[in-house]
Structures are given as C-alpha cells and as structure tokens.
Amino acid sequence: MDRHEGWTRREVLSAGLAAAVAPVLAGGSETMITRRIPVSGEALPVIGLGTWQVFDVPSTPEALAAPRRIVDMLIESGGRLVDSSPMYGRAERVVGDVIAAGADRKRLFLATKVWTDGKMAGWRQMERSLELMRTDVIDLMQVHNRRDLETHLETIREWQAQKRIRYSGVTDYRESALDDMADVMRRYRPNFIQINYSLGEHGADDRVLPMAQELGIAVIVNRPFMSGRLFRAVAGRELPGWARELAASWGQFFLKFIVGHPAVTCVIPATSNPDHMADNLGAGFGELPDAATRARMLRYIEEL
C-alpha cells in the first residue's frame, strides 16, 4: 500500500542493503519467523507481499519480469502471503500470470478481497478472482473495507464449507475505522482482520490488537510505511546505534516494530523493486524487538 515507496526509499537506503539478505535468499540456514493462525494453528511467515498499484501492470514478458522476481524472492526466503484485490487493477491477473509462469502455488498463501454490493455480485466477483489468480482455492477471502459485510461473510462461510476458501477476513486501511473494526471482530469473529498499523499510525494498540489476541483472530497489517511518509521522516538520518543489531535499514526498523507485536501475524509491504523486496524480507529474520525496545523505537520516531 506504499505508492511512493520506489523513490522515497532510494533516498534513504544505502547501496549494500540488498546484499545484506543475500545469504538468506540463497538458502542460508536461517528460516523466516512465523506466527500461528489462531483458528487453525497453521504457521504463516511474518513478511508477505502487497500488490496495490505495484502489480497493476500489463501481462507482457517485460512488465511481468519484476513481479515474477519479487514472488520468487518471497518464496525463496520462506515467505508465503500475497495479498490482492479486484480493486487493484490488473493485480489479480498478474498474480495468476506469475503462477502460470512457474511460481509454486503450493508454497503461496493467496489472499484477495470482495468489494461490491449484493450476494450474486459478490459471488461472481469471487469466482472471477479464482479464475484470474489461476487457483481452485483462495486461502483467504476478505470483505474489502467492510462493504456489504454481512452478505459477503455469509457467502465466504458457505465457500469455506465447500473448501473453496480456507479463511475468512475483513479489512480496512484507515485508523478512523478501528472502532468499527473492533465491533466487527466482536460480532462476526472472522478468522483474519487486515488493518493499518505502523510507527506513525498505532491506534490499533489501544483496542484492536489486544482484542485480536483475546478472540483468536489473525492480523495482517497494511500501510507499514504510511505511503512512504515514514521514509521521508528519516531521510538523511542514519539508524541509531542501538537499532543496528536489530535492523539493517530503516525499512527493516519500521517492519520489525510491527511484527514485534505478538498479535501481528503478517505484514504486507508492497513493492515493484526487487532490491526493496530483499530489504523487506530481511525484516523476517533475526531478533524481534521486545516491548521495551518497541517503546524506544516509537519514542525515537515521535521525537523527530
């Protein structure tokens, strides 16, 4: 969900960051950190991939080269989750094209969304998502921004019973919607929620993340970089010395704050740049910050 990620990160990433995670991507001994999906116990790696804008490209060999490489890197690093939506232009089709070109569907956790009104319109949209993504089963179907929520959750649960969908979910991307999301969690108990959460937007700390732990709901985090605003906030600054054993870059610093929260199952930074993908994936390895360190990270950003 980070539309300005490409140019803003170039301003703050050093030239050697992609090399820092090369041993991992080349098959090193480390494995990516995982979190359990509460409803099933299935392990899900903490770094996934968003596709908003960055996968909205033509289905030509030239345009597909970067998405293919990025998905390959995700799989090679041990990551699994790819999140898309019918609202993301050609992104679902591009995910399907990447799978058709050889990406191992069995190693991917495909998440998409339904965003329309009415049961039959939702049914048709979900059928089209399966077709575009070239799969018989969607791992996670989410009601996008809670639109016609009750209607679509009913269909999703019907498809879960038919084993066409594995998990149900509800999404929003706005901090102003967190109270509504908490009400949805209490009333409907989806298997997943997807929300915004970052060092710059951490309102979910107050109610939603504790409630997810209480109710056993998995959490996917979008907007981890606030559409590039966090990178702009630290442009020209070096990582503080105390953070360098934790993170090799500002991107990893931002992502590790998120996945350091025990309620967070997976974060989905979006990128069309393989170097940035390598850097993002690096946040899934090594130590995670404890509560005291996360508080220090937050204070640092708030004091800029």
Beta-bridge partner residues of 52:
none
Say how far apart CA 100 and CA 171 lie, in whole Å: 28
pLDDT digits (tens, 9 = 90+) for 207-244: 999 999 999 999 999 999 999 999 999 999 999 999 99
Average pLDDT, integer, range 20-24: 45
With contact defined as beta carbons under 8 Å apart, do 143 and 152 qualify? yes
Q: Is the dihedral of CA 139, 144, 150, 151 positive or negative?
A: negative
Say how far apart CA 67 and CA 97 lie, in whole Å: 9
Residue 17's pLDDT is what? 42
More confident residue, 53 or 291: 291
C-alpha distance from residue 69 to each of 28, 63, 98, 99, 276 (Å): 19, 11, 9, 12, 12
Nearest to 153 by CA among 129, 189, 109: 189
Residue 30's pLDDT is what? 76
CATH code of 5-302, in short, is 3.20.20.100
22, pLDDT greater than 50: no
Q: In the chain, pLDDT over 70 holds for what percent of residues? A: 90
Average pLDDT, integer, range 88-108: 95
Quick one: pLDDT band at residue 196, thresholds 50, 70, 90?
A: very high
12, pLDDT greater than 70: no
Which residues, 6 or more positions from 18, have their beta carbon under 8 angstroms from its beta carbon? 274, 275, 278, 279
Task: Decide the pairing of beta strands 192-196 and 109-114.
Answer: unpaired
Task: Decide the pairing of beta strands 43-45 and 34-36.
Answer: antiparallel
Average pLDDT, integer, range 174-195: 97
Residue 122's pLDDT is what? 98
Quick one: pLDDT band at residue 7, thresholds 50, 70, 90?
A: very low
Angle between helices 274-282 and 61-76 (to 10 degrees): 10
Angle between helices 91-100 and 61-76 (to 10 degrees): 70
Q: So where are the chain's domains?
A: 5-302
Nearest to 266 by CA among 146, 169, 132: 169
The secondary structure of 244-294, three-state, reads CCCCCCHHHHHHHHHHCCCCCCEECCECCCHHHHHHHHHCCCCCCCCHHHH
With contact defined as beta carbons under 8 Å apart, do 270 and 1 qualify? yes
pLDDT digits (tens, 9 = 90+) for 119-138: 999 999 999 999 999 999 99
Amino acid found at 177: A
Say how far apart CA 177 and CA 279 lie, in whole Å: 30
Average pLDDT, integer, range 80-92: 95
pLDDT digits (tens, 9 = 90+) for 127-174: 999 999 999 999 999 999 999 999 999 999 999 999 999 999 999 999
